[in-house]
Copies of this chain bind each other. A is one copy, B any other.
């Protein structure tokens, strides 16, 4: 293998302590060309595959129509001895992998929360993999380090967060919440995490990983944390409040929770993983009231801000507490103090970090504030339209108020009916929805906000739901409640 080593290196010299018997036959895949020439040779095919995938994804079944283990059985038991061509990889992606892909970019993907990609971010990810910088010290990539801080400042302004907070990009909301919990425990010396029954499971998972105790407070009928139940927080390291809960999109009363935290010296972590992106529109900022009192806030740009995984935006008003919790400079990492102050590894669990900032930068540049606002507003408008249809249909009901792009609803025909209905809809391949439980009842969740979703897709999923409900009510046993 001799990429980029020039023609004279095409026949590798055997190493002094390492004869290389098989390497005289160069792999036709990656070994025969320099990396630049390989990209020129195969890049256009890959670009074309990506472009045509996004053109046609709406024609594929949304939810993968395979059984567990089916894909594994179709893949070889071992890596090849010799390199294969990139064309073979692309062909297998199409023929073997694609039937096992659940299409998150499908215009009728409505499950969980959206996870948008976008064309500028796709290209930026390719460039990040090309540079392949590892940002653990400032000097290991000043560009990665400083761009991450700068785009986090841009994003804070876009979402109406206070200026001057320390921003960093983590891989996901779970890591962001874990980071906050570690810093809070270190700062307070306390072992308790407080959340609500509607808080995302990552809070409980963080506490379990850290060996912290969890106290769960109740919610009101709208799924909002009951401030009255917070009680004495003097033994609490942190409270996790949510802006846009996973189950139904509820917004906890952040300002009141912040007041309780301040009185008792507890850290307030605001989980706005989903709804945070909507704060780019002033008309949704009511949901961020009080967020300026938080100690940390997380917004997943990889959900609703056109930036693919992994791009979880974590801000903190207490960077010194993060640094106190995470700073650890080994001898081989020591650099001048003027550089150490910048190192992002000082502020979170990871040492190395990818050049995630590049894709967020490309998105913020290529969409601008107006483009992001338009994307959010389209998603909300479509969800509002869908919620109207549900509310006006005799056999259906909204299970909760529609928040942002999330509609929670059910058919009036009862528990088993709704379970079977969801199964039928998802099996059809025409749309993919997920479920939750509200007031003890099985509830369907439709989250809009996909990059490719149109009004026609909203009409079609509504028609699909009605059609499957009708078929189910006519099927033997289908009317069971």
| Complex partner residue of A142 from B85, B101, B123, B381, CB under 8 angstroms | B101
Determine the distance from Cα of A34 to Cα of B182 in the docked complex, in whole angstroms.
43
Distance A204 CA – B1 CA, assembled complex (angstroms): 38
Bound complex: CA of A135 vs CA of B200, how far in Å?
Answer: 17
Would you call B18 and A381 a contact (CB within 8 A)? yes
Q: C-beta contact mask, A104-133 vs B, less than 8 Å → 1, else 0?
A: 110100011001111111111111111111
Q: Is the CB of B83 within 8 A of A370?
A: yes
Cβ of A407 within 8 Å of any chain B Cβ, yes or no, is no
Tell me the bound Cα distance from A204 to B378 in angstroms: 47
Q: Across the interface, do A5 and B185 meet the contact criterion of CB distance under 8 Å?
A: no
Q: How far is the CA of A327 from the CA of B246 in the complex (A)?
A: 18
A264-301 interface (Cβ within 8 A of B): 281, 283-284
Q: How far is the CA of A370 from the CA of B202 in the complex (A)?
A: 42
Q: Which residues of chain B have C-beta atoms less than 8 A from A111's C-beta?
A: 140
Number of interface residues of A (CB under 8 A): 192
| A472 CB–B CB distance under 8 Å | no
Task: State whether the Cβ of A333 lies closer than 8 Å to any Cβ in chain B.
Answer: yes
Q: Mark A370-394, 1 if CB is under 8 A from B, else 0.
A: 1111110110110011000000000
Are A3 and B452 neighbours in the complex by a CB distance under 8 Å?
yes
Interface hits, A340-362 → B, CB 8 Å: 341-342, 349-355, 359, 361-362
Chain A 166-185 against B: per-residue CB contact (8 Å), 1 yes, 0 no? 00000111110010001001
A-B contact pairs, 5 of them (CB 8 A): A1-B374, A16-B384, A77-B153, A104-B131, A174-B351
A367 CB contact (under 8 Å) in B48, B83, B125: B83
Assess the B367–A29 pair: CB atoms within 8 A: yes
In the bound complex, how far is the Cα of B325 from the Cα of A141, in angstroms?
Answer: 35
- Which stretch of A6-14, A223-231, A409-417 is in the interface? A6-14
B309 close to A365 (CB less than 8 A): no
Are the CB atoms of B12 and A374 closer together than 8 Å?
yes
Q: Are B104 and A134 in contact, with the CB atoms below 8 A?
A: yes
Chain B residues near A3: list those with CB within 8 A.
118-119, 451-452
Could you tell me the distance in whole angstroms from the C-beta of A148 to the nearest C-beta in chain B?
11
Q: Which of A65-73, A252-260, A459-467, A473-481 contacts B (4 or more CB under 8 A)?
A: A65-73
| Contact of A468 with B by CB under 8 A | no
A18: which B residues are within 8 A, CB to CB?
281, 283-284, 377, 380-381
Q: Does A247 contact B (CB under 8 A)?
A: yes
Q: How far is the CA of A66 from the CA of B47 in the complex (A)?
A: 34
- A448–B209 CA distance with the chains assembled, in angstroms: 37
CA distance A352 to B31 in the complex (A): 34
Determine how close the nearest CB of chain B comes to the CB of A242; give it in whole angstroms. 13
A47, A111, A352 — most chain B CB neighbours (10 Å): A352
Closest to A182 in B: B209
Q: Is A35 an interface residue (CB 8 A)?
A: yes
Complex alpha-carbon distance, A210 and B212, angstroms: 9
B47-A44 in contact (CB<8A): yes
A220 at the interface (CB under 8 A from B): no
In the docked arrangement, what's the CA distance between A370 and B454, Å? Answer: 48
Please state if B79 and A154 are interface contacts (CB–CB under 8 Å). yes
Q: Known contacts A44-B44, A100-B146; is A132 also within 8 Å of B154 by CB? A: no
**Nearest CB of B to A448, in Å:** 11
Residue pair A101, B380 in contact (C-beta under 8 Å): no
Q: Indicate the member of A122, A157, A378 with the most B CB atoms within 10 Å.
A: A122
Instruction: State whether B370 touches A437 (Cβ < 8 A).
Output: no
CB pair A107 B4 closer than 8 Å: yes
Which B residues are CB-close (under 8 A) to A63? 139
**Residue A164 CB within 8 A of the other chain:** no
Question: Does the CB pair A64–B142 fall under 8 Å?
Answer: yes
